[in-house]
Amino acid sequence: MTAPLQDLHYHVDEDPGLRPDARSAAPEDFPVAAADVAVTSGAGGAQDAPARAFTSDEAAARFYLDQLLQRDDRPAVRALLEPERPEYVPGLVAQGEQDLRPLRTRQVRFAQTHGDVPVFGARAVVELTDARELVSVTAQLEAVDGVDPVESLSRTEALQRLAAYVGADLPPEAATTGRLHYYKSDGYDGGGDAGGGSWHLVWLFTDVPAAPPGDADPGDPDARLGHGLGPRPVPARYAYLVDAHDGEILFSYSAVPTALPTPAKCAGTDEDDDRQTFLGQLVGPGGPACRLDDPLRSVRTYDLRFADIDSDPPLPPTPVESPTGDFGDTNRAAVSAHLNASRVQDFYKVVLQRDGIDDQGMALVSQVNVTAASMEQPPTLLNAFWYQRKMWYGQIRRNGRLVSLSRYLDVIAHELTHGVIESTSDLVYATQSGALNESFADCAGVIINNWYRAPDRHDVGTWDWEIGPGLRSDGRPLRDFSDPSRTGHPQHMDQFRRLRPGEQPGPANDNGWVHVNSNIHNKAVHNLLTVSGPTGRVFTVEDVAVLTYLGMARLAPLATFTQALQSVLDVARTYFGGHPDKQAKLAAVGDAYAAVGITLATSMPQLAQV
């Protein structure tokens, strides 16, 4: 199983070498190699006093990361530096940059390679100001050693070992996803935070259409819950790491968790019998008057007309249409899906300043009236999910008619946030990182649902904390954000549910109990939302939304609960940098997590000061 990599953590707020009110660190605050920086010139070309500048955010991020690694005394970290040039870190590949608009900073994300081969789960995130000064670094990196870099098994041979392991014939095209990686494994205890470990050269196969061996319908009701509704009506898709020398299956995890047109003001009745207004698109003469295609938000809604997802139905040629601007009460499922998807888009755009699910303005496509005969007798399907970069909605019978799951804004926000996670931290969907994947999706679901539906969005005392109300067979919600014990879930690390020694994550154990243990982190965030001080709530709703969203976005794929706390604290240090009560707010974050047993590891290595 997976062993943790070496943590590297820095925040300017914690640097004793800087003044207490410093908001960033300049190159001059580090030992500087002349080859890494250039001298700027003033306006008109006149040379000013020496000042250092970088040609790009990536160059600045590499420089600061190099300097911090030189401070570190751990052999496994020092070995990352090039012996002949200790100021240069080889093997870091830039993955992209992101504007952290609520913090008015930017971050650069790197993946680690060794000899041009990726290191599984190794990431570094460097946060910079607009002036390219350093704010923070979060990284999980480690030098690779003790492993033969030349594979003994070919990609095809490794796939044959995998086919024998899963007990199924795998299509030849599955081999095309295979890529060599370095992977650190350990004597795993089921919690995702064991120490030690050994390095392996592995073939990583992604999107394999077969689940790990085991009971697909386990007796444990927690495993049967899946992502909280019914079984996912999509083919099993898993990623596998196969030792490239002896063929052992070392790790597996789920690959499925996630001129402008003229807008038109439309109306219609949703699944809750409420009259709603929303934006669609006018279409040309001779056609229908309005289509569920919001050109301002890039939200489009289609009707699959109860097509079976097992047959891989094509997207209909056009979104749902109406001969007038009033969709009436005959398109309830589509109206609810369109309205709720627009609400999620608006929240991410306005409150979190993110440009859509992928932060690149991608269209948000929803499909209603979905069935899956292999899972449930049509026309019902107890599921709503993010898959293939689209939303899919099933339906249930209520009061004599079919009611679409598109009515549940909390479920929709949860599922769409899987798409946000997929394009940021890409948290591996197993054990602790998988539980964080689920929890951060739950956080968005609860916050966005109450942002639009609570009597007072700013007063959490008026909030509804249920996730998927009434969707369990006994009438209970799927989860209760305020009281996980109400649905039989843990709310403290003392109750953390671990895998058995040697047990692989899979469908029989909810991929390492991701929907069970997620409730521990949920309760920590509930504490953040509700904590009070002498003058009222310590954090606004917007505060917590920013802390959890940006805290998630800077994590590495194999993050643990402790690393999530550290990440949220780092965001808070920047976000509340100029606030007179900053220290009290940081303490409140720590207390909210400590109340559920999540604390910073006292043995976490500290950077040596120079």
H/E element holding 99? strand 92-100
Q: What is the mean pLDDT of residues 264-272?
A: 89
Q: What is the pLDDT of residue 374?
A: 87
The pLDDT of residue 219 is above 80: no
Q: What is the pLDDT of residue 258?
A: 37
* Structure-model confidence comparison of residues 474 and 378, the more confident one: 378
The pLDDT of residue 385 is above 50: yes
Q: What is the pLDDT of residue 231?
A: 56
Choose among 428, 441, 423: nearest CA to 511. Answer: 428
Share above pLDDT 70 across residues of the chain, in percent, rounded to a whole number: 86
The pLDDT of residue 217 is above 90: no
Q: What is the pLDDT of residue 323?
A: 84
Residue 64 is which amino acid? Y
By CB neighbour count within 10 A (0-12 exposed, 13-18 middle, 19+ buried), where does 246 fall?
Answer: exposed
Residue 514 is which amino acid? V
Q: What is the pLDDT of residue 475?
A: 80
Tokens 């990726």 label which residue?
118
The pLDDT of residue 402 is above 90: yes
Q: What is the pLDDT of residue 56?
A: 92
* Structure-model confidence comparison of residues 97 and 222, the more confident one: 97
Residue-wise pLDDT for 21-57, tens only, equals 888 999 988 875 444 444 433 333 333 434 467 889 9
Segment among 40-54, 238-252, 508-522, 563-577 with least mean pLDDT? 40-54
Long-range interactions of 27-30: CB distance < 8 A, separation 24+: 27/52, 27/63, 27/133, 28/52, 30/63, 30/64, 30/67
Segment among 55-59, 157-161, 281-285, 531-535 with least mean pLDDT? 281-285
Q: Is 415 a catalytic residue?
A: yes
The pLDDT of residue 125 is above 90: yes
**pLDDT mean across residues, the chain:** 85
Q: Which residue of the set 415, 422, 438, 466 is catalytic?
A: 415
Q: Is 515 a catalytic residue?
A: yes
What's the pTM?
0.81
Residue-wise pLDDT for 560-586, tens only, equals 999 999 999 999 999 998 888 999 999
Q: Residue 255 — very low, low, confident or very high, per pLDDT cuts 50/70/90?
A: confident
Tokens 């030792």 label which residue?
243
Q: What is the pLDDT of residue 297?
A: 87
> Are 302 and 368 contacting, i.e. CB atoms less than 8 angstroms apart?
yes
Q: What is the mean pLDDT of residues 425-452?
A: 95
Q: What is the pLDDT of residue 52?
A: 62
Share above pLDDT 90 across residues of the chain, in percent, rounded to a whole number: 55
Residue 605 token pair = 């290595």
The CATH code belonging to domain 155-254 is 3.10.450
The pLDDT of residue 74 is above 90: no
Q: What is the pLDDT of residue 49?
A: 37
Residue 56 is which amino acid? S
Q: Which residue of the set 11, 227, 418, 515 is catalytic?
A: 515
Give the class (CATH, top level) of 258-407.
Answer: alpha beta
Q: What is the pLDDT of residue 550?
A: 96
Taking CA atoms, 8 is separated from 115, 119, 142, 581, 587, in Å, by 21, 16, 10, 27, 22
Taking CA atoms, 335 is separated from 346, 370, 407, in Å, by 16, 15, 9
Q: Residue 11 — very low, low, confident or very high, per pLDDT cuts 50/70/90?
A: very high
Phi, psi of 332 (to 5 degrees): -60, -45
* Structure-model confidence comparison of residues 538 and 503, the more confident one: 538
Packing angle of the helix pair 510-530, 431-453 (nearest 10 deg): 40
Residues 536-550: b if buried by 16+ CB within 10 A, e if exposed: ebbbebebbbbbbbb
By CB neighbour count within 10 A (0-12 exposed, 13-18 middle, 19+ buried), where does 591 fall?
Answer: middle
> Are 247 and 157 contacting, i.e. CB atoms less than 8 angstroms apart?
yes
> Are 359 and 550 contacting, i.e. CB atoms less than 8 angstroms apart?
no
The pLDDT of residue 193 is above 60: no
Residue-wise pLDDT for 425-436, tens only, equals 999 999 999 999
Q: What is the pLDDT of residue 232?
A: 56
Segment among 51-65, 238-252, 403-417, 583-597 with least mean pLDDT? 51-65
User: What's the first-to-final CA gap in the chain, in angstroms?
Assistant: 37
Choose among 550, 588, 576, 587: nearest CA to 13. Answer: 576
* Structure-model confidence comparison of residues 438 and 75, the more confident one: 438
Other C-beta atoms lying within 10 Å of the C-beta of residue 126: 27
The pLDDT of residue 605 is above 90: no
The pLDDT of residue 194 is above 50: no
The pLDDT of residue 190 is above 80: no
Q: Residue 233 — very low, low, confident or very high, per pLDDT cuts 50/70/90?
A: low
